[in-house]
């Protein structure tokens, strides 16, 4: 089994956009899901999505095992808006919720590879900083972000919900 990382072109891959929208609905609570606006969000020039697909040898098809969404906030700053992983039919979120990736996809580096690809895409946009938010209780996600050079900027109270805060983190180039 090989993992292929590709950038999504929403104009050419409407089926993939729909698949990722279904994943969004299952992974995230309604108030955090971008499923309803995903197609519209991805049609903007300042945003994009990179996905990882597990592909069997000699076959072009496979299943999506994760994705990273990003956007350019300004000419100086970009944002990683989502990092998620899944194994259909039971979906699991990689970092924001305290759930685990199904055993067969754990510790294979999908989240790290996707995050690195998202960072590189933002870098090519010549921004000076990439930002993201993470729940302080999500230690594996926090560790991954710090491993790749992100630093904690501030604690944003009630970011996710009234009783759920987030660290705002940044990576400067």
Q: What is the model's pLDDT at position 131?
A: 96
The tokens describing 69, both together, are 């969404």
Write out pLDDT tens, residues 20-42: 888 888 877 777 777 778 888 88
Tell me how far apart the alpha carbons of residues 101 and 72 are, in angstroms, rounded to a whole number.
28
- Which pLDDT does position 1 carry in this prediction? 64
> Which sequence spans correspond to the domains of the chain?
2-172
What is the CATH T-level fold of the domain 2-172, as seen in this structure? Aminopeptidase (3.40.630)
**What are the pLDDT digits (tens) for 104-113?**
444 567 889 9
Q: Are 47 and 41 in contact (CB under 8 A)?
A: yes
pTM of the model: 0.80
């Amino acid at each position: 089994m090989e993992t292929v990382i590709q950038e999504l072109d929403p104009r050419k891959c409407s089926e993939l956009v729909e698949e990722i929208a279904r994943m969004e609905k299952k992974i995230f609570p309604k108030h955090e899901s971008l499923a309803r606006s995903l197609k519209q969000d991805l049609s903007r020039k300042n945003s994009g999505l990179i996905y990882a697909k597990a592909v069997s040898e000699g076959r072009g098809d496979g299943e999506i095992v994760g994705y990273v969404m990003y956007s350019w906030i300004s000419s100086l700053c970009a944002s990683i808006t989502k990092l998620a992983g899944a194994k259909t039919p039971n979906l699991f979120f990689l970092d924001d919720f305290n759930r685990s990736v199904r055993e067969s996809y754990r510790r294979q580096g999908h989240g790290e590879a996707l995050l690195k690809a998202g960072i590189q895409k933002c870098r090519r946009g010549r921004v000076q900083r990439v930002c993201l938010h993470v729940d302080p209780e999500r230690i594996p996600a926090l560790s991954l972000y710090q491993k790749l050079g992100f630093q904690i900027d501030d604690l944003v109270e009630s970011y996710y919900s009234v009783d759920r805060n987030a660290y705002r983190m940044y990576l400067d180039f």
